Amino acid sequence: VGIWFANADDTTGEGYFSEYLSRHHEYPALGGANGFDVAKMLIEYTPQQGTLNDYLHHIRNFRGASGDYGATSNNDFDIPAVIQIVKPDGFERLK
């Protein structure tokens, strides 16, 4: 309690966290949003976009649980981040 917590900013994304919370009445496990995004990427891939490897390296304007983002030239993704303070009853977003 009282420490900073850096994580993906889900406020611009698919609504994964709010949807999960409304269905299950608890937050998803750590990494759940990443699993959601990977599954969505694989579902949206079609062979017309080239190889799966090429597709994953050139994703742009992807809208997932972790926000709106795309692949970078460093073989990773540019996921928007947010800093929050851990509170006894949840998180407080820093402005």
CA angle 31, 33, 36 (to 5 degrees): 115
Arithmetic mean of pLDDT over the chain: 89
Given pLDDT bands bounded at 50, 70 and 90, which one contains residue 30?
confident
pLDDT at 10 over 80: no
Read off the tokens for 77: 């993704």
Sequence-ordered alpha helix ranges (H) in 8-85? 16-24, 32-44, 52-57
pLDDT at 14 over 90: no
Q: What is the pLDDT of residue 83?
A: 94
Which among 87, 88, 86, 66 is positioned nearest to 77, based on CA atoms?
A: 66
